[in-house]
Structure 1
Amino acid sequence: MSTPALVNASTLSELGDVIGRERLEKLIARFSQALADAFPEVERPTVEIGREAHTLVSMSGMLGCDAFSAACRTLEREAKAGDGITAPLAEARRLRDATLGALSENSLA
């Protein structure tokens, strides 16, 4: 089984072809800000964390941030099930930071 990409360049390229490079750059900037704000290190209800994960699943998937999207999907599922979310939340935070770094390294410039 292969590991999902932090940033799938092919997905970003295809999206850029569809919506244009300028709009893609703006979308990435907004998503990067959402990532920076995601899953803060404060106590919050599990249901709230699950909703945040749900929102980030599709945003990250659309932009080719496959590993983060998968981690958010797992976190959402665990939050809905009422299971412990400590490990999936830690993984989502780790991938949030790694994805932010990968997005800035793979800028469209």
Structure 2
Amino acid sequence: MALRHGALNCRTSCTPLLAAILATGTLTTVASGPGSNLRGVEEHIRGVERWLDAEDRTLKSLVFWVYPEGLSGPYHEMEDGQVKEHRLLVTIERGVKVADMLKAVKGAFVEEGTVHVHVPAV
């Protein structure tokens, strides 16, 4: 199955679904970005001991939102009333190495728009 060979990105067709998931407000949001080598994402993953094994692989599937550091959240209203979106939904399968997850997030990270990246266990 081709999906198992790398991260899967969704940039356009699933935007309404991603917006609906974000609107629920039930998922963790993490401020991070390539400028900090995704330090916020890595701290989020490493912050809970039971999420990683001795080989730096996730022990469970994870899902969270990432938005650019320096912003107040995954979207904001401009002075002219426009809403700017900048959010990445990250889904990670059990067994993914942290380094692989960070690489996938870095490759899918957006400063504007709504995107999803799924990182499968290999």
TM-score w.r.t. the length of structure 1 is: 0.39
Hey, which of these two has a bigger chunk of strand by percent?
2
Hey, which of these two has a bigger chunk of helix by percent?
1
Which has the higher relative contact order, 1 or 2, with Cα contacts under 8 A spaced 6 or more apart? 1
